[in-house]
Structure 1
Amino acid sequence: MENIHDKNIWPVWATETIDIVEPNPRWIKKGEHEKALLLDILSPSGITEIQHYGSTSIPNLPSKPIIDLMAKIDSFETVEDIASLLVDYNWHYVHPDLDQRPWQRFFVKVTNDKREVHLHLLLEGDERWDKQLLFRDRLQSNQLLVNEYAILKKNLVEKYSNDRELYTKAKTEFINSVLKM
């Protein structure tokens, strides 16, 4: 059996560097499109709500060109069934041992060996759902916060372009300060 922690066997997209690009107004429409596709595929599995919540959902914010979506799910018991539905649409399931976030199940849609969309499945009632939406909504309504976050992200990507985990962790203080506003 292969060791899933062996980076030598990971696909190209799993180890790509972080790239922050200028905002693209098409990201919002792309998020809506991906949401609609996923709802069509996953509604038989009980998924009825999907939100576009990442940086690409915030106008004028430089970002990784990857759409971040999250969906509510009643139980993680159906994740293997969901993975089998999504595999035909270029979605890859990232095992929780690799994702290291036990509160979610994570999928990556890949096109031409590049991440295109992330799907985070969260359990119904998880407080992270509301926090993600609150952070998105506060930035969508405050260009000064967008500007501050953009500077932070550009500085962090210079330090952590090869380490997604450290890059994400380094944004925590800013995110928490926005949530406390």
Structure 2
Amino acid sequence: MPRTHPPIVVESYCAEWPEIFTKEAKLIQRFIGTYITVIEHIGSTSVPGLAAKPIIDMLIGVKSLADTPRFVAALQKLDYVYVPEHEADLPERRYLYKQKNGEDTFHLHMVETGSEFFSRHIAFRDYLRSHPESVAEYASLKFRLAREFGSDRAGYTDAKTEFIQSIERAAQDKES
């Protein structure tokens, strides 16, 4: 059954987001540390000053996706929900989420360390962290789109795509 979502809420940056990430990352490390190489804070909550939906995105580098049944079972003990349906579009990623009071609090994006997905998300985050003008532009866009799209998460996400791709290109050019 598809999940229903409350209206999209974009909040001003919260200085507690990095601490929330660190606490949860330590918990995850204790449960599945043997399967992973790194846990990175990604997404808008990882960029100081950037407005975001109050959901902590974690990029978890795993040694091998062949270990999926084992690390998913361990994460389910921490109340994470595994969504294998997403693998039809992104076979290189395992996606899980955690909720509190019916709202998402954490999203886990589990990929093999060194994959294109991994590198692209780190480059995007790092570019924004060093370009405050892009952070301001992205925040403005996110607030506008949240008002425009209400509960339509797919529409909200699709409407951000052009901006995100422009940042990904800029990040790639910076690395070249």
State TM-score, norm by structure 1. 0.85
Residue equivalent to 2:16? 26
Contact 1:53 1:68 in 2 (8 A): yes
- Letter in structure 2 aligned against 1:87: Q
Q: 2:94 aligns with which of 102, 105, 108?
A: 105
Q: Deviation at 1:29?
A: 1.1
1:36 matched to 2:34? The reply is no
CA-atom RMSD, angstroms? 1.8
Structure 2 CA distance for partners of 1:123 and 1:69, relative to 1, 3 Å: same
**Paired AA for residue 113 in structure 2:** E
- The number of residue pairs the alignment matches comes to 170
Q: How does 1:57-68 map to 2 (within 5 A)?
A: 57-68=46-57
Task: Work out whether 1:168 is the aligned partner of 2:157.
Answer: yes
Q: Which runs of 4+ in 1 moved over 3 A?
A: 97-100
Instruction: Provide the C-alpha distance between the structure 1 equivalents of 2:69 and 2:99, rounded to a whole number of angstroms.
Output: 18
Q: What percentage of aligned pairs have identical amino acids? A: 32
If the length of structure 2 is used for normalisation, what is the TM-score? 0.87
Corresponding residue of 1:150: 139
2:117 alignment partner in structure 1: 128
| Distance in 1 of aligned mates of 2:69 and 2:126 | 32
> How far has the Cα of 1:97 moved from its partner?
4.7
Q: Could you list the runs of 5+ residues in structure 2 that have no partner in the other structure?
A: 171-176
1:96–1:106: 8 Å Cα contact kept in structure 2? no
1:47 Cα shift?
Answer: 0.6
Unaligned runs of 5+ in 1: 1-5
Q: Does 1:16 align with 2:6?
A: yes
